[in-house]
């Protein structure tokens, strides 16, 4: 089985973060460089924030946090990081596999 390219998938997702946040956290709103909502369920509020430039995110009400779109997807959908990476790569139409080490 090929290794997942977590860094490549996360990097490729960065330009799509505003669209992904609008889809995953539908009642949130963009405030400058951040997407703000009430929680990882996506209701209105400001205690959950996603930096749309770096991908870092935190839900300050629960203490959950992560550094990229993969960890965000995993937290929102309550799935593993590997499954989140696979789904995100499929959604974006990009390769999931890391280049072989040589």
- Number of domains forming the structure of the chain: 1
Percent of the chain with pLDDT over 70: 93
Residue 102: inside a domain: no
The residue range of the domain holding 46 is 6-51+60-92
Q: What pLDDT shows up at residue 98?
A: 57
- DSSP-derived letter for residue 14 is G
Residue 95: which pLDDT band, with cuts at 50, 70 and 90? confident
Residue 97: inside a domain: no
Helices (H), the chain: 6-13, 17-24, 69-77, 81-92
pLDDT mean over 67-86? 97
Tokens for 63?
């203490």
Residue 101: inside a domain: no
Residue 17: inside a domain: yes
Q: What pLDDT shows up at residue 97?
A: 72
Tokens for 48?
């959950």
Residue 64: inside a domain: yes
Give the span between the Cα atoms of 16 and 14, in whole angstroms.
5
Residue 25 has pLDDT above 90, yes or no: yes
Q: What pLDDT shows up at residue 3?
A: 84
pLDDT mean over 20-44? 96
Q: What is the dihedral of CA 93, 97, 98, 100, to 10 degrees?
A: -130
């Amino acid at each position: 089985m090929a290794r997942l390219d977590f860094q490549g998938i996360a990097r490729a997702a960065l330009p799509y973060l505003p669209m992904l946040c609008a889809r995953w956290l539908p009642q949130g709103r963009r405030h400058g460089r951040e997407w703000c909502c009430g929680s990882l369920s996506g209701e209105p509020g400001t205690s959950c924030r996603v930096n749309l430039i770096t991908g870092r995110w935190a839900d300050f009400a629960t203490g959950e946090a992560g550094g990229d779109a993969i960890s965000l997807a995993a937290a929102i959908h309550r799935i593993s990081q590997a499954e989140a990476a696979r789904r995100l790569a499929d959604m974006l139409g990009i390769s999931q596999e890391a280049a072989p080490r040589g």
